[in-house]
Amino acid sequence: MNNKKKSAGHNIKVRDGEWSFSKIEKNFDKHINTSVPFYEDGHEIISSIATFFLMDKSNCLDIGCSTGTLLNKISNKLNNRNIQYIGLDTEAGMIKEAQKKNKKIKFLNKDFFKTKLKLQDMIISYYTAQFIPSKKRHIFFKKVFNTLEWGGAFVMFEKIRASDARFQDMFTLLYQDFKIDKGHDYSSIIAKSKSLKGILEPFSDNGNLFLLKNAGFKDITPIFQWLSFKGYLCIK
């Protein structure tokens, strides 16, 4: 079977079932803004929500921080408050890019599952949990809950599976239209989609809510949705 690397756009080369965030940090920001609908708008929503939970001496954690754009945005918005920010990412290249944006933020090349952390007032997972293997996702949500202060916020954005096959077909086609409008061609869309097989595993909205509630969250509300892309605010 021919499995040569193909372009997913923005000089990112991929193979079927082998998507990786390694060595794409230079092109990541441009690529993600044309791949995830309202990506920067989601940052705006989260940074605004942060004003309710991050006060002087608060702690804020971003799991899967990539190039640090979101934490940098929150830090700039709340620059009059004494807040400790931590960004975690398993890709060293992403952390190096993040460190260039803001030297005051602690960006660490570490795995959330293996990192001991103090209690946080806000934890963010921005399109991160969907890449965690399904069998470990309930452990992820439980650790998030246990790492939050009482009254703290967990903000999660995820791609979700539709509740019905008809809706799923519609969402998939409309998402492809979005990517074409953003400059992607058919071959790069197909190459990216095939590279994510077995790696990007979205749950349904009900599936996410089940795991969040099972982890201990009782107060959960949607804060964003565009077709199969959804944001949640959970308060401990």
Ordered by start, the domain boundaries in the chain are 6-35+162-195, 39-161+202-235
Q: Residue 1 above 60 pLDDT?
A: no
> What is the SS3 assignment for 169?
helix
**What value, to the nearest 5°, has the Cα angle with vertex 156 and ends 203 and 111?**
90
Q: How far apart are CA 196 and CA 19, in angstroms?
A: 5
**Domain spanning 39-161+202-235, CATH class:** alpha beta
**Predicted pLDDT at 3:** 74
Its pTM stands at: 0.96
The pair of structure tokens assigned to 163 is: 């509740």
Mean pLDDT of the chain, nearest integer: 96
Query: 225: which strand partners?
Result: 230
Q: What is the pLDDT of residues 2-53, one digit of tens each?
A: 678 999 989 999 999 999 999 999 999 999 999 999 999 999 999 999 999 9
Tell me the C-alpha distance between 153 and 14, whole Å. Answer: 35
